[in-house]
Copies of this chain bind each other. A is one copy, B any other.
Amino acid sequence: MPGLIPDSHADLVSDDTRAFAVLAAVMADGTPQATPVWFDAEGGMIRVNTARGRTKDRNMTARPKVALAILDPDDPYRWLQIRGTVLSSATEGAREHINRLNFKYHGTPVFDGPLDQVRVIFIIRPDKVTASS
């Protein structure tokens, strides 16, 4: 996990935790949205996955600046605050990614959401990271 996440908090973005992230994005009217999400990390990037057409899909597609807070489920005083930028989004590979997240969070390899749902993967680059312990 190269990148801005400090080694001291690398476990919070690893596959060894089931910590959720709260994703903050901005609505068209400039007001914020805060949504609990599954996520994983690869190569210093945070990856989230949503269904096409959802509010967070529309917000992140139109306004790529986002923020994330990730709290240690065992100690909420230990957390990461991330401000970042959506570098890319894609439907290609998104079904595999949501299955991967399903495995991370549930231990089973197939996400059981509607099969006709179009999934989208978002790649978020952390620009500023604050860690609390």
Contacts and interface: CB of A to CB of B under 8 A. Distances in A.
What's the dominant secondary structure at chain A's contact region? strand
A86 B60 CA distance: 24
Contacts of A39: none
A132 B83 CA distance: 25
The bracket for how many chain A residues form the interface is 20 to 34
Interface in A44-90: 63, 65-69, 71, 73, 76, 79, 81-83
A31 interface: yes
Task: Give the copy number.
Answer: 2
Contact of A67 (B18, B32, B79): B32
A10 interface: no
Contacts of A65: 30-32
A36 B132 CA distance: 10
A5 interface: no
A122 interface: no
A65 B79 CA distance: 24
Interface stretch (A21-29, A91-99, A110-118): A21-29
Interface of A: 18, 20, 22-26, 30-36, 63, 65-69, 71, 73, 76, 79, 81-83, 132
